[in-house]
Amino acid sequence: MKRVAVVTGASAGLGAVFARQLREQGYELIVVARRSDRLEAIAGERWVADLSVEAEVERLAVHLESRDDIALLVNNAGFGTQGRFAETALDAQMVMHRLHVLATVRLTRAVLPGMIRRGAGAIVNVSSVAGFARSANNVSYCATKAWMNAFSEGLWLELQGTGVTVQALCPGFTYTEFHDVMGVDRAKHPRWMWLDAGFVVRESLRNLHKLYVVPDWKYQFFVALWTKLPAWLRLRAQLRRG
């Protein structure tokens, strides 16, 4: 039986790695990104769409609703910013919320009824370790990734017994274009904190049955410890970091 995987943000970073590994596993692909030139190198059905624009999300969602062969949806499209919320461009903040939250909602809703009807399928929401923390310079990013975690948890509860799984993939620092676009100086973070993108995606795909996938034991330890701390202590620790 044909297996089709939809990957958003497939032109670079984790999205491109997801597309490559899924193709190697025998999936047929629907790859989505804003940059048509970057999609040309990826075999499969190519959709050029800006998922921060409601009309373009809807166009893709209607197409996905018309199909009966979607086995996997990877909600990967996203980006990060740096800077204080009141000082950074409002447009970028609004785009981030539309992309991380609204596009994820609409595309998930597009494929989920068919998956439930067939009794099989999986959704991967590419979140972040940042979804478990807060940062004074990444307010929207941390908030939208925390939302993605909560959204995944709620879906997990609803999907019990349906044969459909949902995963929140929560990597830490990863070698991709993501941090380069943000202007992050990698030298400011120890090399041991950086993960290989191929490793992150492999961990996700081999653990589709798990609600949370946090690649690498160091980040697993951080999440386990950080989430046990009372809010006042977590916030005080963040204040000390500036």
DSSP collapsed to 3 states, the chain: CCCEEEEECCCCHHHHHHHHHHHHCCCEEEEEECCHHHHCCCCCEEEECCCCCHHHHHHHHHHHHCCCCEEEEEECCCCCCCCCCCCCCHHHHHHHHHHHHHHHHHHHHHHHHHHHHHCCEEEEEECCHHHHCCCCCCHHHHHHHHHHHHHHHHHHHHCCCCCEEEEEECCCCEECHHHHHHCCCHHHCCHHHCEEHHHHHHHHHHCCCCCEECCCHHHHHHHHHHCCCCHHHHHHHHHHHC
Q: Does the active-site annotation cover 141?
A: yes
Whether the CB-CB separation of 14 and 200 falls below 8 Å is answered with yes
Distances (CA, A) of 128 to 56, 121, 133, 141: 25, 22, 10, 9
Of 27, 141, 212, 219, the active-site residue reads: 141
Retrieve residue 181's tokens.
């676009």
Q: Which residues are part of the catalytic machinery?
A: 141
